Amino acid sequence: MALADLAYPECDYAKTGLTTVVCQLRFNPILKIGQAVPVEFQDRVRQSFPVFVREESIEFRLALGASLPASVESLPPTPATWRFRTEDGAWVAGLAVNFLSLETKDYRHFPDFGERFNVLLAALTDVYEIRDFGRVGLRYVNLFKAEQFPGGWAGRINPSLLGPLADPQLGPEVTGAQQIFALADGDWTIAIRHGLDDAGNYLLDIDHATEAKTGMADVPARLAEFNRRIFQVFRWSITEDMHQQMEPTPRD
């Protein structure tokens, strides 16, 4: 059976481990984004993202020579990243010379996420006349807390993922185990990072992307496609018992 053969009915959960959802589009650098305040872009998005912040980092390098003390020199500042946030800070958009992003810790469902992202996408294409992207990515980070799901992860996480955690002798004493693997087909990849952290929580981080050239008009459909595929990977990753413990509600 391949990923394309999975057909779990989509649902929403009352109890989840979802901590962060991020979407990012990368494009050929546009220098004026980093050099000029994006006034027109802000006008297009400020009804949805009213809080504006400029982020700029300065890095330092320690220069070691024959004589002491060593000198510290500052490196050129990295191009600015402009942040646009909701009043409560739960949704944060990022605009830089080569990317547009949207991140939230208050995810409810994909149509809501897509509607907010489309505001940013329309502003980007109208103001900067970007018509295609070199990378489109969508990432869901889940961290299941041990106190919310007591009793360990055997019987909750797909045994194909658990490895030593599923071992009847050693499993109860494993205090940390993480793995990264990837799926790929056609022009897309899915990177999956999962496992136990030092606090006994279980991480399930699913990062779906394509680096095929993607036209602006195709972005919403690709993100919807990624969202559906991510759900199938997520649902495969948990057992039926875990699925029921998360209190699923079928989607209309």
DSSP per position, 25-58: EE-S--HHHHHS--HHHHHHHTTT--EEEEE---
How many percent of the chain have pLDDT more than 90? 73
When pLDDT is averaged across residues 148-161 and rounded to a whole number, the result is 90
Confidence check: pLDDT of 238 > 80: yes
Q: What is the pLDDT of residues 66-81, one digit of tens each?
A: 555 555 555 445 568 9
Confidence check: pLDDT of 111 > 80: yes
Q: CB–CB of 241/23 below 8 Å? A: no
Res 49: pLDDT: 97
Characterize 138-169 residue by residue with b for buried, 16 or more Cβ atoms within 10 angstroms of its Cβ, and e for exposed: bbbbbbbeeeebeebbeebbeeebbbebbeee
Q: What is the pTM of this model?
A: 0.88
Residue type, 95: L
Res 142: pLDDT: 97
Confidence check: pLDDT of 172 > 50: yes
| Spatial separation of the C-alpha atoms in residues 88 and 161, rounded to whole Å | 36
Res 245: pLDDT: 94
Question: Whose CA is closest to 143, among 18, 26, 4, 41?
Answer: 18
Q: What is the pLDDT of residues 123-143, one digit of tens each?
A: 999 999 999 999 999 999 999
| 3-state DSSP assignment of residue 210 | strand
Residue type, 1: M
Q: What is the pLDDT of residues 84-95, one digit of tens each?
A: 999 999 999 999
When pLDDT is averaged across residues 96-101 and rounded to a whole number, the result is 97
Res 59: pLDDT: 47
Res 197: pLDDT: 87
CA dihedral 225, 226, 231, 236 (to 10 degrees): 110
When pLDDT is averaged across residues 173-190 and rounded to a whole number, the result is 86
CA dist list (Å): 72 to 59, 60, 64, 67: 10, 7, 9, 13
Question: Whose CA is closest to 71, among 62, 58, 80?
Answer: 62
Confidence check: pLDDT of 168 > 70: no
Higher pLDDT, 167 or 152: 152
When pLDDT is averaged across residues 208-234 and rounded to a whole number, the result is 97
When pLDDT is averaged across residues 12-23 and rounded to a whole number, the result is 95
CA dist list (Å): 171 to 95, 159, 176, 193: 44, 12, 10, 19
The overall average pLDDT reported for the chain is 89
When pLDDT is averaged across residues 149-156 and rounded to a whole number, the result is 88
